[in-house]
Amino acid sequence: MIRLPAYRRFISRITSAASLSAVVLLVLVACSSSNDKGGDTAAIEGVPLEFQRVSEVWELLTNEQIDGSDLDAVTISEGAIRGMLLALGDPYAGFLNREQLSLEQENIKGFFGGIGAEVGVRNGAMTILAPMPDTPAEAAGVKAGDVILEVNGESIRGLTLLEVVHLIRGEKGTKVTLLLRHLTNSETVLVEIERDIIDLESVTLLMQVGRIGHLRLSGFTGTTNDELKEALERFERSKGLGIVLDLRNNPGGLVSSVVDVTSQFIESGLVLYQEDAKGNRRDWKVKSGGKALDIPMVVLVNGFSASASEVFTGAIIDSGRATVIGTKTFGKGSVTNLWRLDDGSGVNFTTARWFTPGGTLIEGQGLSPDVVLEPLDIDEDEDLHLDRAIEILEEELSAGVSTAERK
């Protein structure tokens, strides 16, 4: 019996609005005549007999294919792995070679060379979830909802999300060209963007008229909670009366970060729970010591509020902590793990799904806000929704609605 090596280390992360799909090179054998090689193939312990066909096809290719003597085993094996991941039907599954895995680890650390936009899969298309504030993507006019058609003049049809992301990334100062189709326009636009080192700063606070704080979270990173606490201190020094917490175009991030952030606003209970393939449940509980438990608040979301943003939104809705306003959220509520293989490459796939404290499945569903607004046209000012959120908050402040009464 041949034993497969035990698999290996993995890097656990939540993908934002990153998140991952796989497309594949399928190995096909076309023969003008039938040649049954026959014979027995050695069984591999723990692997279904059907997988013997993979080694059988490899043998056929190397012996009979017209260029079989020149085949590269690494290339063919990577194609076979991609095929396995495609067959899962998991939109976040993907394969990374050694170079790509190294770049992905840079992203996890919080810095990378790129354009400053989160990319995801929406309705089967590679879609910009959010251009990050003050980045090359935003400066170039890239918008949430843009569908990517080409990168550097090459069609991305048949590529995985991971592959598309790594085509877009690159060294600071180099340029990348994207062919995009805007969300509400069938015409395409060609955009050239100069890459830069992207700083993942994720919290901004602007005080509005009437001592209302516009608190915008653009992601959930390892530093978001500390940034949030600093923003809340500034809000307090400004003698603010209430907060509009803006999660529009927030693609998500780390589950540990969203638990910390949610715990600033909710006193007790669950933030979320997750279930894996075996039905094992893990509860993520609110941490004590929140700094904004009694601050009046309205939460603003849209169709590109995804992943960890939806976790936060679900906890707010189920706890009755605040009014949620906007459009239905994205519907990305799953855990993906990036597993490192022995040769330095890696595979990524979904291992669990998220539920709100009240048991609502996020994945593929999205969350409906308490107050549903009509989606904005591409040429409409997004501040129209912000203005409505401020109006609702001011109405609640005038009526003296407290957190306890809302619950």
Active site residues: 307, 318, 332
The DSSP code sequence of 328-375 is ------EEEEEEEPTTS-EEEEEEEEEE-TT--B-TTT----SEE-PP
Neighbours of 175 (CB within 10 A): 12
- Interhelix angle 73-87/52-64, rounded to 10 degrees, is 140
Strand 212-217 and strand 242-246: pairing?
parallel
Structure tokens at 335: 């855990």
CA distance 333 to 355: 8
Please list, in sequence order, all residues whose beta carbon lies within 8 angstroms of the beta carbon of residue 123, skipping any fewer than 6 positions away: none
Neighbours of 184 (CB within 10 A): 12
What is the rounded (10 degree) CA torsion for 339, 340, 342, 346? 90
Of the candidates 398, 371, 370, the residue with the CA atom closest to the CA atom of residue 212: 398
The amino acid at 370 = D
Q: Are 341 and 347 in contact (CB under 8 A)?
A: yes
